[in-house]
Amino acid sequence: MSEPIRVLVTGAAGQIAYSLLFSIAKGDVFGKEQPVVLLLLDITPMLPVLDGVVMELQDCALPLLREIVSTDKEDVAFKDLDVAILVGSMPRRDGMERKDLLKANVAIFKSQGAALEKYAKKTVKVLVVGNPANTNCLIAAKSAPSIPKENFSCLTRLDHNRARSQVAMRCGVPATNVRNVIIWGNHSSTQYPDVHHCVVNMSGSELACFEAVKDDAWLKGDFIATVQQRGAAVIKARKLSSAMSAAKAICDHMRDIWSGSPEGEFISMGVYSSGNSYGVPEDLIYSFPVQIKGKTWKIVDGLAINDFSKSKMDATAVELIEERDTAVTFLGV
């Protein structure tokens, strides 16, 4: 058995964390031989609820779970971290302007970035889940200047999984038979789910997605809209936001960072745009197709981009630039 790794989950009394913590603690993310210390952070009013979560984790009697620390203090939660999964954020309330939402989240992620800078290991891997995830991730990274920018990513794996599943259902195959969908851009309704490089295994042979689906109008219309609006559809149906599927996506994302992405496959995650070959502006956290080896991601280069894709990639970049520029004005506040 190796030394335990220290894994922080923020918003730890919330819905997503409730689905996530068990998977981390039982070895689904970092491996069946990797002990973990869980650090659970939430706001002070949620501490009684968090106590109940801690009791449940204890009652699972999990062999890999060495210690649980629950707290409302950043200096405790961020100490010597190997992994930080930042789930907690300010949700949008009725009547709240996007600008107000950004301002509230800048305060949270500036503070958490500063805590990473001050207390965490410089090798820490940081995944931002709390929305607006791309811009929150950018603010956290800017607030932790001595931690490499490559160590920060935001979650678009849920969108990736949604896109993969929609194609699989349409073709009547398991989701594992669908590879190389791409989510470009923002984790918002402007994201672009792209299947121009996707392949589907049908009866043992690999077909291009457009050939497998045989419905170009659907792939360029309803499919894209369904993936873009899926979060809103879940909220409308459940009266709560995606939690089980978000937790699964977090597990997929962190497992691939830790152990590498599957050979010959690319996955989607929001990463620093600097130096990309697709003309995406610098200094954004933008979702790209990536491959991961040795805990290091690399953007998949050289994919052909047609005019249809380019216009959608540009539109989501415009939204991210606006978000970034608004958020940065709050950084000095």
| Residue 181, token pair as written in the block | 């969908």
Catalytic residue, chosen from 187, 196, 197, 253, is: 187
Q: Is 170 annotated as a binding residue?
A: no
94-127: burial string, b at 16+ Cβ within 10 Å, e else: eeeeeeebbbbbbebbbebbbbbbebbbeebbbb
Q: Is 94 annotated as a binding residue?
A: no
User: Cα separation of 228 and 192, whole Å?
Assistant: 8
Verify whether residue 253 is a known catalytic residue.
Answer: no
Q: Average pLDDT, stretch 175-195?
A: 97
Q: Which amino acid is at 323?
A: E
**DSSP H helical segments within the chain, as ranges?**
15-25, 47-59, 74-77, 98-119, 133-142, 157-171, 209-213, 216-220, 222-238, 244-259, 307-331
Q: Is 131 annotated as a binding residue?
A: yes
At 99, is the pLDDT very low, low, confident or very high (cuts 50, 70, 90)? confident
Q: Is 42 annotated as a binding residue?
A: yes
Q: How far is CA 10 from CA 15, 100, 108, in A?
A: 11, 21, 11
| Residue 50, token pair as written in the block | 């968090």
With a cut of 70, say whether residue 333 has pLDDT above it.
Answer: no
Q: For 319-331, write each residue's pLDDT tens digit.
A: 999 999 999 999 8
Q: Average pLDDT, stretch 89-109?
A: 85
CB 160 within 8 A of CB 183: yes
Q: Count CA atoms closer than 13 A to 191's CA, side-chain side.
A: 37
pTM across the whole model: 0.97
Other C-beta atoms closer than 10 Å to the C-beta of 252 total 20
Q: How far is CA 170 from CA 157, 167, 202, 215, 234, in A?
A: 20, 5, 12, 10, 19
Q: What is the pLDDT of residue 311?
A: 98
Q: Is 105 annotated as a binding residue?
A: yes
With a cut of 80, say whether residue 1 has pLDDT above it.
Answer: no
Q: Is 180 annotated as a binding residue?
A: no
Q: For 247-284, write each residue's pLDDT tens digit.
A: 999 999 999 999 999 999 999 999 999 999 999 999 99
Q: What is the pLDDT of residue 95?
A: 74
Read off the DSSP letter of residue 191: -
